[in-house]
Amino acid sequence: MKTAIYIEDGLTQLVLSPESDFEKGVISKVNKGEQQIKIYTGGFYACQGGWVRQRDDYQRNRDDTCLIMVMSIKEEK
């Protein structure tokens, strides 16, 4: 997925441009309102063994902050 941050005239946009069929499917579900999106801050750091772990907001180093969007399927009422 290609990403960009576009800032102009006081408006800030986060642009996600899907490249694979999977990514296109995720964007499609968001556009159709099939996903709930929650925004968090936090960070990721490398662990021994070659994998990555998420660090919660309260543990974060200010130089290692990222925006985390969590999408989950909306429950039908």
The pLDDT tens digits for 7-53 are: 998 888 888 899 999 999 888 888 887 777 777 777 777 777 777 77
Domain count, the chain: 2
3-state secondary structure of 60: coil
56 and 74 fall within a common domain: yes
Residues spanned by the domain of 18 = 1-32
Higher pLDDT among residues 61 and 56, named by residue? 56
17 and 44 fall within a common domain: no
Q: Residue 17: exposed, middle, or buried by beta-carbon count in 10 A (0-12, 13-18, 19+)?
A: exposed
28 and 44 fall within a common domain: no
